[in-house]
Amino acid sequence: MKRNLIIPCAFLLLSLACTRTEKWSMELHKVVINSTDKALYCEVITDEGSKNAFVNAYDSIDMKFYREHDVELGLLESALTSTVRQDRIIVKEETIFNIVDTSKYKYALEYEAIPQQGNTEKEKIFARHLVKELGEGSTDKNAIIIIKLNVTDSILQIMQKDYGMLDKFKEYYSN
């Protein structure tokens, strides 16, 4: 009887003692699709940094954020936890500026892959224009998340005037 327990116990101890390092990553693509005839400027702030870009009328941009880290796993852990994500990139804030009429909208509800719907009507309108997709080649350990914002006239209607943009975009307005 004791012999029958020795082999499974030895295997269990060995599998717990042996570890291996795996590289896990998260790639977030924040895509802004401008479906309007207005020139836009976008700012996205994440816990991995911030990016900004101009988006011409009827055009789109892709801002990429990337995080990678090592994960130490035992043999059993590796088999049991291969689908546990530990490296989500959090979108902290995104702002859309309508360069043409000096208005903007700031969505400041933090989210990971799925945006919060918000409490105000403006937040709900903005959130309805956000769509999440998995990128081609995405795996549990190396996720590629695409969050698209489709800016339509509905988004333009929730923007508020911000004459501070005249200073922020002096070069643009001087033309």
pLDDT one-digit tens code per residue, 68-81: 887 776 665 555 55
- Residue 9, helix vs strand vs coil: helix
CA-CA-CA-CA torsion for 30, 31, 32, 35, nearest 10 degrees?
-160
pLDDT one-digit tens code per residue, 95-151: 999 999 999 999 999 988 777 778 899 999 999 999 999 999 888 788 899 999 999
Rounded to two decimals, the pTM is: 0.79
Q: How far apart are CA 167 and CA 170, in angstroms?
A: 5
Neighbouring residues of 32: CB distance < 8 A, sequence distance ≥ 6: 40, 42, 53, 55, 60, 61, 63, 96, 148, 149, 151
